[in-house]
Amino acid sequence: MTISFDAADIARNVRAGTLSAVEVAREALRRIDAAPELMAVTRRLAARAMQDAAAVDAKVARGEDPGPLAGVPYGVKDLFDVAGEVTTAGAARLEHAPPATRDAEAIARLTRAGAVLVATLNMDEFAYGFVTDNARWGITRNPHDPERFAGGSSGGSAAAVAAGLVSFSLGSDTNGSIRIPASLCGVFGIKPTHHSLPMDGVYPFVHTLDDMGCFTRTAGDMRMVDDVLRGTVSHVADAPLSCAMLGGWFARNLTAGMRAALDRFTAGMGHVPEVTLRGVDQARSAAFLITAYEGGRLHLDALRDDPISYDPGTRDRLIAGAALSEAAYDDALAYRATFARQIDAVFERHDVLIAPAVLGEAPRIDQPTLLIDGEAKPARANLGLFTQPISFLGLPVVTVPLPTDGLPLGLQLIGPKGRDADLIALATTLAKRGDARPELWA
């Protein structure tokens, strides 16, 4: 029997008793074992998965409701606490730290909803990077072309969903770490309104910017998972949403493939007005500075005690951030308030702003650069060109995969704070009419 890994399909069949949660968990573990070359998984949690799946099946047998995500297999970025497991945050220096004593709140909510955790997933060390090039666990490879990056820092989470190893996954997003890999791997992803989803038990990086969210195969699955994580049923706006395309900064340096995909998208949308924001380059710089300062300060004591245990690429950026002055940090926060006022004014005229998530297709691993203003720049630090200026405002963003004839590409749907459900609804509409289409392998 071929099992569809769409979350809604699995949950419906498990609740009906036509599919066993144990059978689904076994299939997920089999798929993980069959794809070691992706480097998406850091640990398979077979014993836990089988125990949780058996508990779901037992509830069904007793006539009890096993939950809206009954038997759905998922994975989490390796910075979520999993009871009995070490939370490494992608760092070899934490590999032998004491294990977590309880699950992160997000995992606890998913477990109560019947979902089955099967794996922890690869990431950039301490979530500081955009490519998931991990010194301890290896480079996560893009399921669509293993010679290319999956994006990061939640690359393992995106790749696992795109490759059909799990039905959905959890990641974190500070400067684009959900939106970038979702785009490069061709799946749906959400960075929610800042701190609207539970961060208890999630290893921190930049408290001003950190958020958690999910990767899914469909927009409908995103709604299901997001509702469970919030503990509420989402409500959407009754009136049609007014959309505008971000130009200027967000229209520069695009690859030919992204430009063509955007043209097709806007043609399908009909007339979409263009909005050009002022000072986006400063917003990106401010986000970069906040990240460096807070990340550096968080790790300062450990860097003093044992700098050699860090990946050199991560260590050098953290040390540079720790050296920044508090005055520079305060200036960055002040500019955030200035930039936010401009965005608020735009949202008085439009409900949703649309922008590319990345410049174009996933970079090759053997050529880890992007062409920015005619100059080759490192992909690890610059894939967030279009995501960082949005991140530091705390706005909700849903990434939708565009229909393409080649490698995956994605768009950001950006809304005012608290309008997450409207963005998911728009993603659902776009998918139904063919303007958003995931690129999946199984």
Distance (Å, rounded) from C-alpha 120 to C-alpha 146? 20
Is 77 marked active-site?
yes
DSSP single-letter state for residue 359: S
E strand intervals along 243-401: 243-246, 274-275, 352-356, 369-372, 375-378, 397-401
**Residue where the block lists tokens 């990946």:** 311
Q: Which of 71, 82, 3, 10 shows the shortest CA–CA distance to 43? A: 82
Collect all residues with Cβ–Cβ distance below 8 Å to 77 and sequence separation of at least 6: 120, 121, 123, 153, 154, 156, 157, 169, 170, 171, 172
Distance (Å, rounded) from C-alpha 203 to C-alpha 219? 27
Alpha helices in 306-432 (DSSP H): 312-322, 326-347, 379-382, 388-391, 420-432
Tell me which of 154, 167, 177, 391 is the catalytic residue.
177
Distance (Å, rounded) from C-alpha 205 to C-alpha 183? 22
Q: Are 161 and 185 in contact (CB under 8 A)?
A: yes
Q: Are 45 and 85 in contact (CB under 8 A)?
A: yes
Query: Which amino acid, residue 363?
Result: P
Q: Are 53 and 25 in contact (CB under 8 A)?
A: yes
Which tokens go with 1?
């029997």
Which tokens go with 318?
């953290």
DSSP string, 14-50: HHHTSS-HHHHHHHHHHHHHT-GGG--EEEE-HHHHH
DSSP string, 153-201: SSHHHHHHHHTTSSSEEEEEESSSTTHHHHHHHT-EEEEPSTT-S--TT
Collect all residues with Cβ–Cβ distance below 8 Å to 307 and sequence separation of at least 6: 315, 319
Distance (Å, rounded) from C-alpha 169 to C-alpha 400? 16
Q: Which of 221, 237, 140, 148 shows the shortest CA–CA distance to 187? A: 221
Q: Are 172 and 210 in contact (CB under 8 A)?
A: yes
Task: Please give the helix or strand (H or E) that residue 11 lies within, else none.
Answer: helix 7-16
List active site positions. Answer: 77, 153, 177
